[in-house]
Amino acid sequence: MNNKNVETVLAQRPLGLAFDFDGTLSPIAPTSEQAQLYPGVTDLLQRAQKFARVAILTGREIEDGARKINLDGLTYIGTHGLEWSDGLPWLHEVHIAPGALQHTAAGAYLLDLVAARQADLPGVVVQRKRVGGSIHYRLAPDQQETRQKLLELLAEPARRVNMQLSEGKRVVEIRPPLAIDKGQALRQFAQRNALRGLIFAGDDRTDLDGIMELAELRQQGLATLAITVRHHDTLPALLQHADIVVDEVPGMVALLRDIIEVVECS
């Protein structure tokens, strides 16, 4: 890891380390319930906490994401930036983006539409969140057809109730019409902690907002490092804008271990 940029970022204090969860610290599993932290990561996150402010930045609802990691003292940011908590959300206050809760009913209505059509959508899993939710079609026999059916079913009703549809890998997301994304969440994380350096790692479309925001923060004087975790289907823009690309979750975990050893030995 003889990268000048890496050394510069790691020398900053306060330093922030922010990670996406699924596909970054946890291999993609058939269902989101089955996903687990890669072996050894809990220990690495604990060691990282000694020199950095560590955040988990997930599209999962905050409690769901935090349960998967279950380490107090990390910052948990859920639903792509809609909720955050300094520490485990059942022990510490959960902050919710202003204006988000007024879209709870609209989100539930759209998820109900999908649930009512479940017989016609085999393999589809509806995951409800505090506001909006995710509709996973990874287990559908015909993923492309299922994606098309979901988008057709939801496009007009979503427009009518003023909710946004977005997509990740084999998932359609129902989100409130607010300017909230992982980029804005990273900026707030940096501001709240007066960070001088920030590393962020992710693997999916929603992480691109975070990676692009790092470039903005760098313009404003922060030392930043963007890591893309490459899978066979990674969006080209994520590879293009990354400072470092690692291969799959084991590659990410190896890099995290290197980063920690560099700091611990310095």
Report, in Å, the least distance between residue 196 CB and Mg ion: 26
The nearest distance, CB 35 to Mg ion, in angstroms, is 10
The least distance separating Mg ion from the CB of residue 128, rounded to whole angstroms, comes to 19
| Closest residue to Mg ion: CB criterion | 23
Contacts of 262 (CB under 8 A, 6+ apart): 1, 6, 7, 10
Our CB check for Mg ion shows the closer of 20 and 61 to be 20
Half-sphere exposure of 168 (CA within 13 A, CB side): 25
- Cα-based distances in Å from 222 to 124, 187, 190, 262: 42, 11, 9, 20
Give the shortest CB-21-to-Mg ion separation in angstroms.
7
Alpha carbons 236 and 245: distance in angstroms, whole number: 11
Q: Is 30 exposed, middle or buried (0-12, 13-18, 19+ CB in 10 A)?
A: exposed
For residue 121, the tally of other CB atoms under 10 A from its CB is 19
Kindly list the residues in this chain that would bind Mg ion in the complex (CB under 5 A): 20, 22-23, 203-204
Indicate the residue among 170 and 192 with the shorter CB distance to Mg ion: 170
Residues 6+ apart with CB under 8 A from 67: none
Nearer to Mg ion, 204 or 243 (CB): 204
CB closer to Mg ion, 157 vs 251:
251
Q: How far is the CB of 168 from Mg ion (least distance, A)?
A: 7
Residue type, 165: L
Between 83 and 204, name the residue whose CB sits nearer to Mg ion.
204
Number of H helices, E strands in the chain: 9, 12
